[in-house]
Structure 1
Amino acid sequence: MRKLIVLEFLTLDGVIQAGGGPTEDTSGGFVYGGWQVPYSDDLIGKVMEKQMNMSFDLLLGRKTFEIWAPYWPEHSEIWPKVMSVTKYVASNTITSHSWKPSVFLNGNIVEKIQKLKLEDGPNLHVYGSANLVQTLMQNDLIDEFWLKIYPITLGSGKKLFMEGTIPAAFKLIESQISQTGIIIANYKRAGEIQTGSF
């Protein structure tokens, strides 16, 4: 059985859209593309190097796949593993692509991802994929969040936690703070919400 891990770069107000560059995703009139770049430092580089070299398969939404497919083959020296891992893509419109190995999941995405999680194999890592992540959260399919929280607010853009997020408890399993103020925090699912009274 494999874990499904969502790895996201986000702002203090939860925006995950287009952290890597100005033209990455301008949908909805988003003008702050590239907001991650000024905060890059040695620690975030080391954390990403470690995560990018683990054993994993990718699970991506269609839009993220379409951004990545032309980029990573041209920059594979940065992340060689991304070329050989299986890329599972949630899409009802794409059925094949030259960036292989790729498997396209259409129809009942939730059911197909549930089956994927039950298989033997490496953990499934999800990057970006804002719409897909909402579906994963609503159906309680996420085992861990590995977050990089940047010290800025943007006020608009695609967010990680939106309407429809189910109540769920998590346990912090690893944390660090970079020199530029990025909070690196990994959480694993820890059952149901507990309440109390003071």
Structure 2
Amino acid sequence: MGKIVMSGPQNVSLDGVVQDPDGAEGFALGGWFAQFGGTDLEAWNEVALADARGAEAWLLGRRSYEFFGERWRPRSGELADRLNTMPKYVVSSSLEAPDWNNSTVLKGDVVDEVTELKAKLDGEIVVPASYQLARTLLEHDLIDELRLVVFPVVLGAGERLFGETSNKKPMRLAGTRAIGDGLVFLNYEFVREASR
């Protein structure tokens, strides 16, 4: 059975904002990844590479799929090569012809499709970015682990990683470490009712 990991790593501001880290979406406060990552981005890249090496597959929403595909398809190097060859599953009701290597479109009910994918694959199924997809998976207790890289900035506005849920979602801290001089890596595992 696969394990769903919200990672890639998942970049987040101190106040939980995940929106437009590179500034490409036109969000007024976008571009915070490079602005506040500074000299730590090389160390961040090592975390991203380790994450990609450990992934069995990526699971993405359509917008994240298109963003990452445009960014990584033309590149080469260890991280690009890994992302371009790994299996990718994209949740979309309208995408007909995925144009990134080794991609499969999941068109049915998100919860059913991801539950089936989780049963079919072994290893980590990583959900990078894709916060809207992550909210759905979280609501249905399909995420097993959360890996965050916290950037040293409070944005005060923007889409946050977590939205409203129907119930509490307890987690257990599995690890923490500094990345460079200013970023913090946090690793949480979700605690399921039966295991409390």
For structure 2, the residue ranges without an aligned partner over 5 or more in a row are: none
Call closer, same or farther: CA 1:67–1:175 in 2, change over 3 Å.
Answer: same
Question: How far apart are residue 153 of structure 1 and its match?
Answer: 1.1
Alignment RMSD: 1.8
The residue type equivalent to 1:109 in the other structure is V
1:99 is paired with a residue of what secondary structure? coil
Is 1:139 the counterpart of 2:136? The answer is no
The residue type equivalent to 2:33 in the other structure is Q
Among 16, 19, 25, which residue is 2:18 paired with?
16
Question: How far apart are residue 179 of structure 1 and its match?
Answer: 4.1
Question: How far apart are residue 95 of structure 1 and its match?
Answer: 2.1
In structure 1, how many angstroms separate the alpha carbons of the residues matched to 2:168 and 2:191?
11
Question: How far apart are residue 39 of structure 1 and its match?
Answer: 1.6
**Is residue 140–residue 166 contact of structure 1 (8 Å, CA) maintained in 2?**
no
2:100 is paired with a residue of what secondary structure? coil
TM-score normalised according to structure 2 size: 0.88
For structure 1, the residue ranges without an aligned partner over 5 or more in a row are: 193-198
Partner of 1:123: 124
Call closer, same or farther: CA 1:107–1:76 in 2, change over 3 Å.
Answer: same
Q: Which moved more, 1:177-186 or 1:142-151?
A: 177-186
Percentage identity across paired residues of the two chains: 29
**Is residue 134–residue 165 contact of structure 1 (8 Å, CA) maintained in 2?**
no
**Is residue 2–residue 118 contact of structure 1 (8 Å, CA) maintained in 2?**
yes
Question: How far apart are residue 191 of structure 1 and its match?
Answer: 2.6
Question: How far apart are residue 44 of structure 1 and its match?
Answer: 2.4
In structure 1, how many angstroms separate the alpha carbons of the residues matched to 2:76 and 2:89?
18
The residue type equivalent to 1:39 in the other structure is G
Q: Which moved more, 1:174-183 or 1:7-16?
A: 174-183
In structure 1, how many angstroms separate the alpha carbons of the residues matched to 2:81 and 2:29?
28
Matches within 5 A, 1:77-116: 77=77, 78-116=79-117
1:36 is paired with a residue of what secondary structure? helix
The residue type equivalent to 2:123 in the other structure is P
2:73 is paired with a residue of what secondary structure? helix
1:18-50: CA deviation from partner (whole Å, max 9, x where unpaired): 21x221x23xxx122220113241432332221
Partner of 1:34: 31
Matches within 5 A, 1:164-183: 164=165, 166-183=167-184
Of Structure 1 and Structure 2, the greater helix share is in 2
Q: Which moved more, 1:147-156 or 1:46-55?
A: 46-55
Of Structure 1 and Structure 2, the greater strand share is in 2
Give the 4+ runs in structure 1 shifted more than 3 A: none
Matches within 5 A, 1:175-194: 175-192=176-193
TM-score normalised according to structure 1 size: 0.87
